[in-house]
Amino acid sequence: MTGGARRLRVVAFGGGHGLAASLRALRHSAPDLELDITAVVTVGDDGGSSGRLRAERDSLPPGDLRQALAALADDDPFDQRTAALLQYRFAPGGQRRHRDGGPAAGMIAGAGADSAAPGGSGATSAGAVGPGPGDRQDPLAGHAVGNLLLVGLMELLGDPIAALEHAGRLVGARGRVLPMSRHAVGIEADVRGADPQRPDEMITVRGQHAVAATPGHVEAVRLVPPAPPACPSALAAVAEADWLIFGPGSWYTSVLPHLLVPQLADAIMSSPARRLVTLNLAADIETHGLSVADHLAALHWYLPGLRVDVVLADAKWVGEPEPVHHAAQALGARLVLAPVAVADGSPRHDPESLGVALVPVLGAAR
């Protein structure tokens, strides 16, 4: 880093565990690259705690926003403990966590999920956390503290951007978190073969949680309403960025939705920034049957004319690299293979390894 060099402005798009992994990787890269990080987060979640708050409070779904804030939290022990508090999820009343690490001691470790299951792709799971039949008298059960905090701040301040800025200060966030729209959106998909008894039948599946968990083949995905207004702050960040980063994450419900917001798509297309796509390590439920190369083709399908500079993938998980190489070339990109998965063999990105891989790629913009 030469003295006086301008900070690199990076905008990362996504939601859930995939975006969180990307943001943690960028934090690992930040000391070497002097990064100015902005996360632009999907607002379509309708499952688990986020879905309950969205329905009951007419709020932006806070779960993906919360996870992004926690991922950007400073390494200071106080900030890390505050981030852990945001991620803490209330167990049912009869299973409260005690100081000695009682029955609900594992709730912090698993607190990152709303309707999302941890995985290399940030995939959304059918196992959303929420109150069961016996929890009707415990309205806190299943809620993450950070979800309640964010909704409270949004109501108190009357502005989701101001609420996210305030919450970011609480955790010493090393970057900004913005929603892709200031209003919640719906996600629906045309799915073929959702009913195994009718493999050729096409049905419409409505709701992010349902789309993410559908067993059929997703043929097309769209937003409801079809042209939600983009967050102005997100548009400004895209216009000023040096790099735009897409993925990893659930392709249809976390990555592609950004391309379906017309104002945001226009900003992405007109931005002078370079563009990087980080590929998932494994398919999730919603992309079952979609090859790695198909993931890249989907970007072109939903945003024709999109040009990409770099596609980053793990050599072990990418499979036969030649089709991926050709798919990257079709977008104008070069394929970079690097070891970015965790060492235990599971399909999860390791933030530190991903950060190491990002340094020479992002640094090339200088």
Q: Which carries the bigger pLDDT value, residue 4 or residue 178?
A: 178
Burial of 96 from C-beta contacts in 10 A (0-12 / 13-18 / 19+): middle
Q: What is the mean pLDDT of residues 280-295?
A: 84
Q: Which carries the bigger pLDDT value, residue 30 or residue 239?
A: 239
Q: What is the mean pLDDT of residues 166-181?
A: 98
In a domain, 3, yes or no: no
Q: Concatenated DSSP letters for 205-268?
A: EESHHHHHH-SSEEEEEEEESSSPPPPHHHHHHHHH-SEEEE-SS-IIIIIGGGGGSHHHHHHH
In a domain, 213, yes or no: no
In this structure, is the dihedral angle defined by the CA atoms of residues 229, 151, 17 and 124, taken in order, positive or negative? negative
Looking at residue 193, its pLDDT comes to 87
In a domain, 275, yes or no: yes
CB 170: neighbour CB atoms within 10 A?
17
Q: What is the DSSP letter of 362?
A: H
Domain count, the chain: 1
pLDDT in tens, 70-127: 999 999 999 999 999 999 999 987 566 554 444 444 344 344 445 444 344 443 333 3
In a domain, 243, yes or no: yes
Q: What is the mean pLDDT of residues 248-258?
A: 95
Provide the residue range defining the domain that includes 357: 8-185+221-363
Looking at residue 141, its pLDDT comes to 92
pLDDT for 56 beyond 70? yes
pLDDT in tens, 210-221: 999 988 889 999
CB 120: neighbour CB atoms within 10 A?
26
In a domain, 297, yes or no: yes
CB 334 within 8 A of CB 311: yes
In a domain, 259, yes or no: yes
**Average pLDDT for the chain:** 88
In a domain, 133, yes or no: yes
pLDDT for 185 beyond 90? yes
pLDDT for 20 beyond 50? yes
Q: Tell me the chain's radius of gyration from C-alpha atoms.
A: 20
If residue 163 lies in a helix (H) or strand (E), which one and from where to where?
Answer: helix 160-170
- What CATH number should be reported for the domain holding residue 79? 3.40.50.10680
In a domain, 88, yes or no: yes
pLDDT for 65 beyond 90? yes
Residue 261, phi-psi category: left (phi > 0), alpha (psi -120 to 50), beta (remainder): beta
